[in-house]
Each structure stands twice: as C-alpha cells, then as structure tokens.
Amino acid sequence: MADHSHPARPAVLGQNQYGKAENRVVKITRDGATHHVKDLNVSVSLSGDMEEVHYSGSNAHVLPTDTTKNTVYAFAKEYGIESAEQFGIHLARHFVTSQEPIRRARIRIEEYAWQRIGTSGEGAHSFVREGRETRLAQITYDGGTWEVVSGLKDLVVMNSTDSEFWGYVKDKYTTLPEAHDRILATEVSGRWRFNWTEDAREMPDWEKSYEQIRKHLLQAFADTYSLSLQQTLYEMGARIIEHRDEIDEVRFSLPNKHHFLVDLEPFGLKNDNEVYLAADRPYGLIEATVLRDGCEARIPVDLTNL
C-alpha cells in the first residue's frame, strides 16, 4: 500500500485529477462506397490514489496521459464508435478496472455532427458539418455605382476519400509521405462579387443567389476527385462562375484541416485508413481568386479585410 501520509508541512493536497484533454479522433467506417463518420473531441480525466506523485514525485501510480491518449485511438479501432456514450463508457470502465490506483474516470466528449452532401451513391463520402455557416455581405455605394460582395465563413466540409496528394517538390526538409487516399477537410471562407452595379439594372434575387452558390460550392467540393486542395478550390470557384451569371469574381481562403493516420501498430492493431488524429494547427492555407474571363479582381487578397 502506498504511504498516504503527507509531509510535515502545513499544505495538504486536495481534490486532484489528470489526463489528456481534447483528443480529436475521427473514425471512418467504410460500408462499401458509403462511408460513416464519427468525429469526437475526447477529454480523459482520472483521479484516485495520487497523493505520492504530488508529494514526492513518485510516478508509481501514474498511467501517463500519453497512454490515455493512445487508448482513445486504439479503442476507436478495437471497439468502434457506436455512440459517444458507448465509447465513453468503454473508456471509463477500462481505466477504472485496469489500474488499481485509478478510482474514478471522467470522460467528456464533444461530438461534431456531419451531414451528407447529396444523397446516396454520389456524395456517399462527402460531408458538411452541421451548424449553419455565417453568411456575409458587404455593400459599397459611392452615389453612382454599387459594389456588392457576399460570402460565408465557417462552413466545414470533408471528403473521407477521393483525395490524393503526391508528385510535389521534395527538398532536404521534405518528410511528408505521398498520400493516395487521404481525408480532405476544410473550413470554407469565401466571398463572391456581384456584377450588379446600378439602380437601373434589375437586382439579383439575393436569397436565391446565396442558396444556389452555397449549393454549387458544396457540390463541387463533393464531386471533385482531388489531387490537391488548390484544384478543389479552383473547381468550386469555376462552378460558381459557370452557373451563376450574376457573379464575376470568387475568392476562397481554405485551411487544410489535416487528418493524420494514427500509428496503431505498437498496439498490434492495423489502421486501414480508419482512425485519424484531427490536428488543429498548424494548417495549410490555400487561397485564390477565380475570375470570369476578362473581369477584374476587386475582392481583397486578405479576406479578413472584408
């Protein structure tokens, strides 16, 4: 038994807990061409017989927080993620029953919901994150001409396949492995400029235009077999220019929300493109303007200035 006596000091350890917070785990379940996604943010917090590590630094009762992180990813593979609750129960039971000093486990889970883009068949691996994006509009008038730039931000989308990245330049600092089947995810920030400039001309139907542009950019994201996020960006812009006569210019700022395959080999598990670590930073940032041929670029390069 551990020695629970505390040192002869007037300071006694009170409530304490520890663990790994915010383990971002994405589990793809492949049902033929139809993929299912579970996207969780899992925080593990353990408590129990932890006096010694605080009083003397003895780690004899400490299951490393790093191990708790690995357990989250390994369990995603071994047991799958049926529901956040079921996954949390598995984890909590595991920590409390497998480690004698751990008396209590608190697993907090946030789940991000994904909705399919399109229906079955086409779009069976393309998703938009639930929770509506923020719609944006900027109107400028100098007494003569109008400039209307609309857009959106915080529209999170993901393709769980049909994305590759290879054939890029390699120098002595390049370590990125070529990817032939990766997750492509981004949080779309986009602006589009209307060519309506005068009161004399019929105004676009602003509501319909927004819904249609949103639809086209999502559809282009879903339909593009992507060799780079740059290519996907161009396809999204081109599709808007081709389908919406009222728009002359589109600019996108697309963070590449990297998903790294987790190495499960140390646990004797094979990761068959199923379990990913969703990294938040750093992220690639891909930005470009797509113009109607012959038109001039007017949307600022830095979208935070709009």
Ligand X SMILES: O=c1[nH]c(=O)c2[nH]c(=O)[nH]c2[nH]1
Contacts with ligand X, residue ranges (CB under 6 A): 165, 176, 228-230, 256, 284
Which pair of tokens denotes residue 61? 């009762």
Residues 6+ apart with CB under 8 A from 120: 34
In angstroms, give the least distance from the CB of 190 to ligand X.
17
Which pair of tokens denotes residue 31? 């049902």
Q: How far apart are CA 72 and CA 81, in angstroms?
A: 10
- Cβ neighbours around 251 below 10 Å, total: 26
- Whether 153 sits among the annotated catalytic residues: the reply is no
Nearer to ligand X, 174 or 304 (CB): 174
In angstroms, give the least distance from the CB of 257 to ligand X.
11
In eight-state DSSP terms, residue 267 is G
In angstroms, give the least distance from the CB of 184 to ligand X.
7
Residue type, 291: L
Nearer to ligand X, 135 or 170 (CB): 170
- Whether 258 sits among the annotated catalytic residues: the reply is yes
- Whether 94 sits among the annotated catalytic residues: the reply is no
Catalytic choice (29, 65, 67, 289): 65
Nearer to ligand X, 78 or 164 (CB): 164
Catalytic choice (27, 35, 77, 258): 258
Nearer to ligand X, 2 or 176 (CB): 176
In angstroms, give the least distance from the CB of 37 to ligand X.
20
Q: Which residue's CB comes closest to ligand X?
A: 229
| Closest by Cα among 171, 296, 158, 173 to 229 | 158
Q: How far apart are CA 279 and CA 274, in angstroms?
A: 16
Return the bridge partners of 224, or none. none
Active site residues: 20, 65, 258
